Structure 1
Amino acid sequence: MALSAAVVLLGAPVASFAGSAYFIMDAKSGAVLASSNADDLNHPASLTKMMTLYMTFEAIHRGKLGWNSKIAVSRNAATKPPTKLGLKAGGTVTVREAVDGMIIKSANDAAAAMAEALGGNESNFARMMTQKAREIGMRRTVFMNASGLPNMQQVTTARDMSTLAVALINNYPMEYRLFSQTDFSYRGSRIRGHNNLMYRYEGMDGIKTGYTNASGFNLVSAVRQGNRRVIGVVMGGATARGRDALMASLLDRNMPKATSSSSSRLIASVGSAKTKQVELASAADNVAVDVDTQTTATTRKRIETAPVSAPLAYAAVPNVTVPMDRPVAMDEILNAGKPATGRWQVQIAATPTAQAAKDLLSAAQSKAGNALANASPYTEAVGTGSNTVYRARFVGFGSRDDANSACAALKRNDFDCMLLPSKG
């Protein structure tokens, strides 16, 4: 029973306090189940270590590191403030010790040592982290260090953190299991973690907590119940207990809404060292266009940053040879064999099944209303066999302005979207 209760960094954020936000996503279909301020900038705190760990796993898979490799500990790493393992300058730490330390202890010294091992220095590694964030579809995140220690320019969003969580689960499933550990042995001591909700919430198997004065209490959670898989993000909690209670309540309300699918693959995985990358918006057959939408003003205190260049998101499709010139229309969604005429299209997702695409398009139509009145739902299959994904699109927009208005309406109703010029 579930518990009830090369990137250029520009500008300097000036606000001192982040606001509250949450984002609950069906990881099988990509549907947003609940959200509040999901695209507002907040400070990640130790959620940052999720990306440090992602890049560590990537380095292991590429043969740059082994689990027993020894990493040198610099004075910079050793002098990081708590929480920490207590690494000594001039000493070493194994990759496995550092990984366990980051996951369970949220060790800042281990994160800094790993950053120096992979990036030469922490600043360079932070730039690598931000670039990786763009590659996997995190559009607004900027990393400035490997640990999440306070830096006003280090920002993310609840939506971006859900993207990172899914990328970890999809791209490094064996390593992801380490996030379910409740404690670990470190040089004669038993160290217990503090992801307390994970220890008592049914089906929760990760992934990370975070806290600084500026960020408030943050949490990213992944829950599997039966064939349902949900990712939850809560940011800016006033207390750890309040944050956990909100997450539990959101999961309790939204878990039953999630798709029940036997597929182990999650829809939102975006980019991997082990996968062939296919552009979510176009699979190289269209040119994506930025959407001119404005962020809704709020009365909360906001974090301000200059924009960061953001390449397109990617959907991970293992070892797929993508057919570029033969889109397949799904009869149950659109009877015509090709997209309706019109100069512009809007894509909202790429799903593992045609039915999931149909469900998302239907839900989007019911939410966006008149903005989609003159558009038609359409899917095209990309890939073959079990590796096929289905793009969910609305087609037939006569102008970019019409498509942009539809996209803005979709975003207001918690759907992602991307503008594309029609082919031909």
Structure 2
Amino acid sequence: MLLIRRIMAFVFMAGAFLSISRTAEAGYAHYIYDVQSGKVLASQNAEAINHPASLTKMMTLYLTFEALRTGRLRWDDRIVMTKNAASKIPFKLGVPAGQTITVREAVYGMAIRSANDAAAAMGDHLGGSEERFGVLMTKKARQLGMRNTVFRNASGLPDNAQVTTARDMAVLALSLIRDYPREYKIFSQRSFSFRGRTIKGHNNLMYRYPGMDGIKTGFVNASGYNLASAVVVNGRRYIGVVLGGNTARQRDNRMAELLDQALPGGGLPGVAVATSGQQKRPAEGVAAFTSNAPTPRPRTEIILGGTTANAASVTPYATVPQAAPIQNVIQQGGPLWDIQIAAAGSQAAATGALNSALPLLADFGQIAPSVQGSSSGGREVFRARLTGFVDRDAAARACSVLQNRSIDCFVVR
């Protein structure tokens, strides 16, 4: 039986790779996407095959969050730093082979510092080996609608067969935000504490671009400098991907330039900032939420560039049928609904209201916080909203939960 599984895994990887017959170009590409409208705002070489570098870790984290949600992992579980993982080059946590790290340490190491050893250790743990984990990663990529991506390792370290596109990386970034909104907040952290030392992140554009709350940088010689970014402006979510930058600074400046050109107001200070970029204490809160979170309902996959398929029915070799461009995330029949819980005079007050409300709605699972800034009567108002409810009834039920705890709210479309 084990031999059959190995043969099937090999056949799957071979088929997935052969289906992407073009050679990785390692050239420049970008893709800017408006989540709410489903409109591609800017695109260049978006379907060209490139290497993902450390953007790979977004998929490693997606599968880690999935394992946490289903109970296969817990945040305080310890995983072994295998010989394979310990041998990876920096950036790394530097834990010797045979010792252990917690799942939380591995997640923070991957998301904030892009630690290669943490990613490989997680791959070895979840897949039995990093090679088999690559098969799982590629299978999940197909299910999410990433039609031109093949993963071979968990970290993104050089492998000629590990390839992707700018569009596919946008699909993956949005899948993380959509499916794991609480865990996604980790990407916004500037640093984390690891065994007595502070380890800083290096997503420098996120620290200076208003409204940006993630998501991941990457570099290997074969890829150039890569970046996947997520921004909220006036309550609207935008995803940007740049692949093949010449330097980290040039890549960051190019992303900022593209967003400034495509977004209303260019993401300038005072427009609006997603509250996920403001969270300061993620560890225990994230762990407490995800350990009890329900499995998401079946939903249609992300639609980027006008294609869609039902994620539950996608096979590794399925052809995605064409459709007219429609709203990016469709969950069982129509537009998403929000609830507004406050209209405050400051961003801090609006964020505080969201921090009070979110722990009460863990059973709803799919929601994400948003702060929307606007002017009213000559003064600035910040509206605190929880967004992403599948229908009006779900939003109304959530509002009732809050009202029972003396938190005023109302449903908005």
Task: Give the TM-score normalised by the residue count of structure 2.
Answer: 0.66
In the alignment, is the contact (CA less than 8 A) between 2:143 and 2:316 conserved in 1?
no
Of 274-283 and 243-252, deviating more is 274-283
AA at the equivalent of 1:274: P
The Cα shift of 1:313 comes to: 6.0
Name 1:326's counterpart in structure 2: none
In the alignment, is the contact (CA less than 8 A) between 2:231 and 2:237 conserved in 1?
yes
1:300-379 alignment, distance < 5 Å: 309-311=316-318, 346-350=323-327
Q: Is 1:225 aligned to 2:233, yes or no?
A: yes
CA distance in 2, matches of 1:87, 1:15: 36
Name 2:200's counterpart in structure 1: 192
1:400-411 alignment, distance < 5 Å: none
Name 1:18's counterpart in structure 2: 26
Name 1:75's counterpart in structure 2: 83
Distance of aligned partners of 1:178 and 1:281 in 2 relative to their CA distance in 1, 3 Å threshold:
closer
- Secondary structure, counterpart of 1:84 in structure 2: coil
- Secondary structure, counterpart of 2:263 in structure 1: helix
AA at the equivalent of 2:325: I
The Cα shift of 1:312 comes to: 5.7
Higher relative contact order (CA 8 A, sep 6+): 1
The Cα shift of 1:385 comes to: 4.7
Q: Deviation per CA, 1:74-118, whole angstroms, max 9, x where unpaired?
A: 111111111111021110000010001001111110001000110
Distance of aligned partners of 1:54 and 1:37 in 2 relative to their CA distance in 1, 3 Å threshold:
same
In the alignment, is the contact (CA less than 8 A) between 1:135 and 1:313 conserved in 2?
no
The Cα shift of 1:278 comes to: 3.7
Decide which of 160, 168, 171 is 2:176's aligned counterpart.
168
The ranges of structure 1 where at least 4 consecutive aligned residues each deviate by more than 4 angstroms after the TM superposition are 11-17, 279-284, 350-356, 383-388
Name 2:298's counterpart in structure 1: 276
Name 1:153's counterpart in structure 2: 161
CA distance in 2, matches of 1:189, 1:132: 35
Paired residues, what number?
297
Q: Is 1:8 aligned to 2:13, yes or no?
A: yes
Q: Deviation per CA, 1:268-306, whole angstroms, max 9, x where unpaired?
A: xxxx9512134774669xx99xxxxxxxxxxxxxxxxxx
In the alignment, is the contact (CA less than 8 A) between 1:134 and 1:312 conserved in 2?
no
CA distance in 1, matches of 2:264, 2:184: 24
Name 1:47's counterpart in structure 2: 55
Name 2:348's counterpart in structure 1: none
In the alignment, is the contact (CA less than 8 A) between 1:33 and 1:257 conserved in 2?
no
- Secondary structure, counterpart of 1:64 in structure 2: coil
In the alignment, is the contact (CA less than 8 A) between 1:138 and 1:313 conserved in 2?
no
CA distance in 2, matches of 1:14, 1:346: 25
CA RMSD, Structure 1 to Structure 2 (Å): 3.2
Rg larger for: 1
Q: Deviation per CA, 1:158-190, whole angstroms, max 9, x where unpaired?
A: 000000011100100000000000001101111
In the alignment, is the contact (CA less than 8 A) between 2:22 and 2:49 conserved in 1?
no
1:20-169 alignment, distance < 5 Å: 20-169=28-177
1:205-220 alignment, distance < 5 Å: 205-220=213-228
CA distance in 2, matches of 1:74, 1:109: 9
CA distance in 2, matches of 1:387, 1:215: 43
Q: Is 1:234 aligned to 2:242, yes or no?
A: yes
The Cα shift of 1:256 comes to: 1.2
Higher helix share: 2
CA distance in 1, matches of 2:91, 2:21: 25
Distance of aligned partners of 1:278 and 1:25 in 2 relative to their CA distance in 1, 3 Å threshold:
closer
CA distance in 2, matches of 1:36, 1:156: 15
- Secondary structure, counterpart of 2:147 in structure 1: coil
CA distance in 2, matches of 1:350, 1:252: 22
CA distance in 2, matches of 1:111, 1:162: 20
CA distance in 2, matches of 1:115, 1:165: 19
Name 1:374's counterpart in structure 2: none
In the alignment, is the contact (CA less than 8 A) between 2:309 and 2:320 conserved in 1?
no
Can you give the 5+ residue segments of structure 1 that lack an aligned partner in the other structure?
1-5, 265-271, 289-307, 315-344, 357-382, 389-424
In the alignment, is the contact (CA less than 8 A) between 2:31 and 2:44 conserved in 1?
yes
In the alignment, is the contact (CA less than 8 A) between 2:24 and 2:163 conserved in 1?
no
- Secondary structure, counterpart of 1:347 in structure 2: coil
Name 1:364's counterpart in structure 2: none
Distance of aligned partners of 1:249 and 1:277 in 2 relative to their CA distance in 1, 3 Å threshold:
same
- Secondary structure, counterpart of 1:224 in structure 2: strand
CA distance in 2, matches of 1:77, 1:162: 27
Distance of aligned partners of 1:34 and 1:282 in 2 relative to their CA distance in 1, 3 Å threshold:
closer
In the alignment, is the contact (CA less than 8 A) between 1:13 and 1:153 conserved in 2?
no
AA at the equivalent of 2:250: G
AA at the equivalent of 1:347: A
AA at the equivalent of 1:8: M
Name 1:335's counterpart in structure 2: none
AA at the equivalent of 1:33: L
The Cα shift of 1:8 comes to: 3.2
Task: Give the TM-score normalised by the residue count of structure 1.
Answer: 0.64
CA distance in 2, matches of 1:13, 1:211: 23
Q: Deviation per CA, 1:370-389, whole angstroms, max 9, x where unpaired?
A: xxxxxxxxxxxxx965689x
The Cα shift of 1:13 comes to: 7.3
CA distance in 2, matches of 1:52, 1:201: 26
CA distance in 1, matches of 2:320, 2:393: 22
CA distance in 2, matches of 1:172, 1:16: 30
